[in-house]
Amino acid sequence: MQFHNTLTGQKEAFVPLDPNRVTMYVCGPTVYSFAHIGNYRPPVVFDTLARVLRRRYPSVVYARNITDIDDKINAAAAREGVDIGVITSRYAAAYHEDLASLGVAPTDAEPKVTEHIPQIISMIERLIGSGHAYAAEGHVLFHTLSFADYGRLSKRDEQSLMAGARVEVAPYKRHAGDFVLWKPSSDDQPGWASPWGRGRPGWHIECSAMSEAVLGDSIDIHGGGHDLIFPHHENEIAQSVCAHGGATYARYWLHNGFVNVNHEKMSKSLGNVLLVRDLLKTLPGEVIRLVLLTGHYRQPLDWTDEVASDARKKLDRLYGALRDLADVVPATGVTAPDAFVAALEDDLNTPMALAELFELVRSANKAQSVDDKARLKAQLLDAGALLGILQQDPIAWFSQQPAGSALSAEQIEQQLEARSAARKARQWAESDRIRDELAAQGVIIEDSAQGTRWRYA
RNA sequence: GGCUGCGUGGCAGAACGGUCAUGCAGAGGACUGCAAAUCCUCGUACGUCGGUUCGACUCCGGCCGCAGCCUCCA
């Protein structure tokens, strides 16, 4: 197995610290609103990676946090005049619903920041104790100059960090690059008692503290969006390494590319922010998942209507092969082909894995013997399971009624009965009339030796 | 300006120093009452200019173009 490691900028063989306990941490959402399609790329990508890892290693501990204390949450709560818990539980629930729709399996741990305040305070105290952090005016700051490796992940040196500081430097900072570990809360803001007064954690410390609490001092894989490399992950490294006496924090850093919409960056000002919530109104979650796996995770991904309809057609082809194997019992003990697994184990190359999957489909469609069919069906299902797709009944897949369709499955079946009668009597004109009528309403007919099937276009 | 990465056929999107990616769309054929589905065949794709090499889309360098990050962003 190998991964592209942001830390070194190279593809490296993956060697876990402890093969009997592989650990992975992925930065989760800040729950202050409904999440957009880009927010779901990391969970889908790393869910797929977790599936591949679990196949290879006996124990994988995968943690993805929920950030439930943050100034954007505070703002949302203030706007609605409710406690932040109302906001965070609402959007965390929505997040979980969407994840389920996208076929994302639950993680082994889902730490929340508000449940780890003591751990956060403890880590800050240790950082102060070792001279890597200092308290000033109710704040506690991490002193970046105290950590020689600062900037290594994002490949920034002191000069460029200084040059890039585009926010005015707070007077209590010793150095422009220093960042907040703890900040004071006013009476109307959420806060917790601490050695530095009532306050709340800064943005980066929570991941370091929760990763430590759930996975340990050193973890194998840390994932997240490309944009988190700096400052978030750079700061996590600084906090964790310094809190752990120099021990390596994460050994492999994996970052996914951004999702754009119609060739543009998603932004509120452009009004092109796509919520998964909304996409799910017209698209099966499986289609959305496949779109997110269509390109390599490190590359930018452009979301367009065409990409979505392509994914749907791909699933039609995949499920079509399974539908033809409906009466075949999958062979036992048969797993996804080596080439397919090898593609995923090579830096999670999902496009190549999909290519292998389609080769499998071609073989399945051509297979004659029962043995071949049984083997290919088992391989298809197992490969699909690794990608988190293809797990539903093919008939159910083709029977999903699109949002715009006026015809229910029952109505279609009725029409088909009439058509079958006409065909039996060799009344082709009547038969074709019914077919055209259905086609006009978005239903495609497929006659076969086993009878007539249909599907929504 | 600094850093990171990218430019592949109509669209999407991989690999690889010398053979087919794959999917969709398109063309022809088989099958079909006709279709659909499926199968077979096909289109001389690699931003640009040089270099290395027997041979480069693949390695190196310049140029052009694009994107992200540079302290609230997945």
Mean pLDDT computed over A398-414: 84
Residue A236 has pLDDT above 50, yes or no: yes
Homologous superfamily in CATH for domain A2-256: HUPs (3.40.50.620)
Is residue A289 classed as helix, strand or coil in its secondary structure?
helix
Each residue's pLDDT tens digit, A343-379: 999 999 999 999 999 999 999 999 999 999 999 999 9
Residue A130 has pLDDT above 80, yes or no: yes
Q: Residue A35, CA: closest nucleotide via C1'? A: B74
pLDDT at A164: 43
CA atoms A234, A239, A242, A247: torsion sign: negative
pLDDT at A179: 92
* Nucleotide B69 C1' to residue A433 CA (A): 59
Q: Do the annotations mark residue A27 as ligand-binding?
A: yes
pLDDT at A155: 85
What gap in Å lies between CA A182 and CA A95, rounded to an integer? 27
Q: Name all contacts of A242-245 with Cβ < 8 Å and 24+ positions apart.
A: A242/A127, A242/A130, A242/A132, A242/A142, A242/A146, A242/A147, A243/A123, A243/A126, A243/A127, A243/A130, A243/A132, A243/A208, A243/A212, A244/A212, A244/A217, A244/A218, A245/A130
Each residue's pLDDT tens digit, A291-309: 999 999 999 999 999 999 9
* Structure-token pair, residue A337: 């082909």
Residues near A263 by beta carbon (within 8 Å), at least 6 away in sequence: A302, A304
Each residue's pLDDT tens digit, A20-30: 999 999 999 99
Strands A264-265 and A179-184: unpaired
Q: Residue A310, CA: closest nucleotide via C1'? A: B24
Return residue ranges of chain A for CATH 1.10.730.10: 261-397
Determine which of A61-75, A209-223, A272-286, A406-420 has the lowest per-residue pLDDT on average: A406-420
* Nucleotide B17 C1' to residue A155 CA (A): 31
pLDDT at A20: 97
C-alpha distances in angstroms, A288 versus A44, A103, A278, A403?
A: 10, 10, 11, 15
Residues in chain A: 457
* Nucleotide B38 C1' to residue A367 CA (A): 11
Strands A250-256 and A219-225: parallel
Q: Residue A309, CA: closest nucleotide via C1'? A: B24
What gap in Å lies between CA A72 and CA A29, rounded to an integer? 12
pLDDT at A417: 92
pLDDT at A376: 97
Q: Report chain A's terminal Cα–Cα distance, integer Å.
A: 40
What is the reported pTM?
A: 0.95
ipTM of the shown complex:
0.93
Is residue A275 classed as helix, strand or coil in its secondary structure?
strand
Is residue A261 classed as helix, strand or coil in its secondary structure?
strand
CB A236 within 8 A of CB A203: no
Each residue's pLDDT tens digit, A160-179: 555 444 455 678 888 888 99
Each residue's pLDDT tens digit, A107-127: 999 999 999 999 999 999 999
Name beta bridge partners: A142: A133, A179
User: What topology does CATH give the domain A261-397?
Assistant: Isoleucyl-tRNA Synthetase; Domain 1 (1.10.730)
Residue owning tokens 């184990």: A345
Q: Do the annotations mark residue A207 as ligand-binding?
A: yes
pLDDT at A408: 86
Q: Which positions in strand B are less than 7 Å from the protein's CB atoms?
A: 1-6, 11-15, 21-25, 32-40, 67-74
* Nucleotide B10 C1' to residue A306 CA (A): 13
* Nucleotide B25 C1' to residue A263 CA (A): 21
Return residue ranges of chain A for CATH 3.40.50.620: 2-256
Render A81-141 in DSSP notation, one character per residue. Answer: TS-HHHHHHHHHHHHHHHHHHTTPPPPSB--BGGG-HHHHHHHHHHHHHTTSEEEETTEEE
C-alpha distances in angstroms, A168 versus A158, A162, A176?
A: 17, 11, 9
Which residue is closest to B40 in terms of CA–C1' distance?
A366
